[in-house]
């Protein structure tokens, strides 16, 4: 959906945990796009929740 430019808002979260190796979430080669940070919150355990809006 990202490569087809069908997403207008992302809600990524970062957790302070080391998980080791594994499969990649995104393949290399996505087209360039611009995003703006609309909101961010930090939790008590160090997690960060963000909201990004697509700039069109």
Strands (E), the chain: 9-10, 13-14, 35-42, 48-54
Establish if 22 belongs to a structural domain.
no
Assess whether pLDDT exceeds 80 at residue 35.
Answer: yes
pLDDT tens readout for residues 45-56:
899 999 999 998
> Structurally, how many domains does the chain consist of?
1
Percentages of the chain per state (helix, strand, coil), in multiples of 5: 0, 35, 65
DSSP secondary structure code for residue 3 in this structure: T
Rounded-to-integer distance, Cα 1 and Cα 27, Å = 12
Tallying the residues shown for the chain, one arrives at 56
- pLDDT tens-digit map of 3-31: 888 999 999 999 887 776 777 776 777 77
**2 domain-assigned:** yes
Predicted TM-score (pTM) of this structure? 0.73
Domain membership flag for residue 28: no
- Which has more confidence, 29 or 1? 1
């Amino acid at each position: 959906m990202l490569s087809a430019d069908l997403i207008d808002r992302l809600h990524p979260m970062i957790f302070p945990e080391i998980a080791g190796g594994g499969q990649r979430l995104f393949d290399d080669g996505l087209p360039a796009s611009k995003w703006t940070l609309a909101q961010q919150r930090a939790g008590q355990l160090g997690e960060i929740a963000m909201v990004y809006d697509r700039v069109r």
